Structure 1
Amino acid sequence: MSKVVFNNKNAVFFQSLKMAVDGYFKESDLKKTGNWALYSKTIILIVVSTALYLTAICFSLPVLTTILIGCVLGFLCACIGFNVMHDANHGSYSSKNWVNNTLGLTLNALGGNSFIWRHKHNIIHHTYPNVDGVDDDIAKTPFIRMCSSQQWVPMHRVQHIYTPLLYAISSMIWILFQDFEKYFKRKVHNTELQKMKTSDHVVFWISKILYLFFYIALPIYLTGWEQWLVFFISLHIGQGFTLAIVFQLAHVVEETEFTFAPVNETTLIENEWAIHQLKTTSNFSPNSKLITWFAGGLNYQVEHHLFPRISHIHYPALSKIVKGKCEEFNVPYNCIPSFNGAIQSHFRFIKSLGKKPVMHAAI
């Protein structure tokens, strides 16, 4: 297991930023959790998704219609993850814990597991983003090389070509394989998984069985295996690609930095925790209200990493405060203005990492 230590001795930047953000909420008389802007999204996304699911499993449909419904449903399932599950599992959806815990289980309804995800995402990723050897989100070797410290293999020469295909099946791999791998190994990459209570084990197995019933057994029984197969694959293409792209554009782009933490060694990060978040994270399309609505504010990834327990509906307003403080303290504020620009930056970066590293001769 790697040990990473931040230099927090003079964490004046985050102290100043936090005071400014707290002042904003006090002056505006706002709660840091969600409001009806978030609640209405929750209702819309869940109702429309349920309608599409029932249409797909209750009616005999043409192939193209099945593909379209599957892809759109997969996209909306990812949006439920961004908007509802994500805020809930961060404790920022509501001030009531039971609401957060209940809505956090929307991840289980989508096939994942909220207990494992919270450990993987809230604890590991949010503390050590882009730290190779710790952050599971960039641990895709040998299939994808996501930073220069990772081992290069010949197939990486074309990883910018096949990576979209892997993104398209990523949610299927996550739900049907990776969750079980983490569950039985009791590890998230190189980090020990938190001890699960009996109730956590029960929820894991019941939700996985229910997923197999509602997404595989019931559709096959009602529509036949041919329509189910088209629907299931289309669903995961829409879901997997949407999930992967949104998260990759936030961290794996040309603008962000990476750190290597060797296993069984202590790695000292020269910056305070907040500065590390800024250097390893990037916003994209901040002026697009449409992307902000569907992506659950995750295009404001900088604000999310600095204040993960504040609901995403506040990020557009907070971004002005964060950007101003970054300018005041002369620290980076990564932001790619457009979605297309972020896509291009990601794949240029992936392509550059696919080139065989130049070996320098020892002097």
Structure 2
Amino acid sequence: MAIDNIKAYAHLSDEDIAEIGRRLDAIREEVEQDLGPRDVAYIKNLIRTQRSLEAAGRIALIFSGNRAAWWAGTSMLTLAKILENLEIGHNVLHGQWDWMNDPEIHSTTWEWDIVCPSSQWMHSHNYVHHTYTNVLGMDNDVGYGILRVTRDRKWGPLHAFQPVVNTVLASMFQWAVGYYDVELGRFFSGRSSWEDTREKFWETTRKAGRQTARDYVLYPALAGKNYPKAVAANAVANFARSVWAYAVIFCGHFPDEVETFTKEQFRNEDHNQWYLRQMLGSANFHGGWLLTIMSGNLNYQIEHHLFPDLPSNRLAAVGKKVQAVCQEFDLPYNVDSFPVQLFKVQKTLLKLTLPNKFLLASPDNAPEVRSNRAFEPVEDQLWEGEQQGRRSGLKTGLGLIKKLRPTVKDAIRIYSGRIPSKAAAARAA
């Protein structure tokens, strides 16, 4: 049910894929050659703003017995944590600012305001996820080991409680990320020993202790008799930061039409096909300036996956060029509004609480999963590469097979025991 031959799936020739790779390499080189003072000013001003917000928020919470001060302090602290986590920490740790050779703003020295140690994040995220993006059995981010986001994951009774698990994950996202690279699941299942697990476990636990002491003991203690309200404010800020990070990250990875891939595809791909996998395995969402900053520029998730170490403030301009490449080669550019992408994610998570036998759409042609076999009914309307100045490839094909999926009316007919129409039966086949 995942893609095992991205070249055939995309209906591109070898020359097409090579040209796409050449165009994307050129985009990277152009940005790298243009980096300079305005980029330095951007990240330094951002860090200054974030630290000012945090300081002002914590000072306001000293007077948290006053309702206005509590709300002001909590709001500023929440904004500071979100900015540090997404637009600063995540991007600095990707090495986006290493070219500055600033010892403070560097991936090797930055330790961010979150439970997860930077070194573990850089392994589980920068290396594993960005190398094996959406490759089943290799990218642990496909469901994070606990959620069923594709039919390729075998259904189990615990998946019936997926809405509950999903809610807990969103509310405690920083803690899930914190112990993510520790891989406690492997330890408890007997696939790794305590010797293999111990070092990372205690590294995360020590940092979690420092984070907890700072947010719930030391800073609130400055509030004196207002200590309980200051603790509550820190809890709200951490909770809001977790839920927001969850929403942003899920919108970039699990909406409809984001593709998954087999190990066979990964083994056989070159640098140019790697680019193609990143383009098809990610999604964007629309956003103005504020939403872009607050999401860490991850509303340009496609561009981030293509160029994870390019400074985030350049992704908007890069996105226009990537979208033009997609349009020229009849490739989809998965973008929608933030609410729509988030709704699609939640719909998939809810739907996959059910075993596959209760799902109406074909396992090769569903909103959340496709395979090369999906195009068999429409293959005569598609072709590889350009013919007589026209293309009829992946984007065209996805539009055609989408019409073959069962509709809500078809589902009502089938589950109510009524005989579906011929058109509905053809779509459900």
TM-score normalised per structure 2: 0.66
> Structure 1: where are the runs of 5+ without partners?
none
**Which one of 16, 26, 29 corresponds to residue 23 of structure 2?**
16
Change in Cα spacing, 1:267 to 1:310, as seen in structure 2 (3 Å) is closer
Deviation of 1:307 (Å): 0.8
CA contact (8 A) 1:251 1:281 kept: yes
Q: How does 1:56-205 map to 2 (within 5 A)?
A: 56=61, 58-61=62-65, 66=70, 69-70=73-74, 73-95=77-99, 96=101, 98-101=103-106, 105-107=110-112, 109-142=113-146, 144-154=147-157, 156-157=159-160, 159-160=162-163, 163-175=166-178, 178=179, 181-182=182-183
Deviation of 1:243 (Å): 0.9
Change in Cα spacing, 1:180 to 1:208, as seen in structure 2 (3 Å) is farther
* Alignment match, 1:285: 286
The Cα offsets for residues 290-348 of structure 1, whole Å up to 9 and x where unpaired, read as 21122221100111111111101011111111111222333332112x11111222112
Stretch of structure 1 that moved more, 225-234 or 243-252? 225-234
Deviation of 1:87 (Å): 2.0
Q: How does 1:229-268 map to 2 (within 5 A)?
A: 229-259=231-261, 261=263, 268=267
Stretch of structure 1 that moved more, 210-219 or 351-360? 351-360
> Structure 2: where are the runs of 5+ without partners?
8-13, 360-429
Instruction: From the CA coordinates, give the structure whose radius of gyration is larger.
Output: 2
Matched residue SS, 2:333: coil
Change in Cα spacing, 1:217 to 1:179, as seen in structure 2 (3 Å) is farther
* Alignment match, 1:38: 43
Runs of 4+ aligned structure 1 residues displaced above 6 Å come to 4-7, 183-186, 200-206
Q: How does 1:317-356 map to 2 (within 5 A)?
A: 317-336=317-336, 338-356=337-355
**Aligned residue identity for 1:49:** E
Change in Cα spacing, 1:183 to 1:347, as seen in structure 2 (3 Å) is closer
Alpha-carbon distance between aligned partners in 2 of 1:359 and 1:270, rounded to the nearest angstrom: 35
Deviation of 1:156 (Å): 3.6
Deviation of 1:231 (Å): 3.0
CA contact (8 A) 2:93 2:107 kept: no
CA contact (8 A) 1:70 1:238 kept: no
Alpha-carbon distance between aligned partners in 1 of 2:268 and 2:234, rounded to the nearest angstrom: 43
* Alignment match, 2:52: 47
Change in Cα spacing, 1:174 to 1:39, as seen in structure 2 (3 Å) is same
**Aligned residue identity for 1:283:** N
Question: Identity over the aligned pairs, expressed in percent?
Answer: 20
CA RMSD, Structure 1 to Structure 2 (Å): 4.0
Matched residue SS, 2:250: helix
Indicate yes or no: 2:315 matched with 1:312: no
Alpha-carbon distance between aligned partners in 2 of 1:344 and 1:64, rounded to the nearest angstrom: 33
The Cα offsets for residues 9-39 of structure 1, whole Å up to 9 and x where unpaired, read as 875122222124424664xx44499332232
Matched residue SS, 2:103: helix
Q: How does 1:216-227 map to 2 (within 5 A)?
A: 216-219=216-219, 221-222=221-222, 223=224, 226-227=228-229
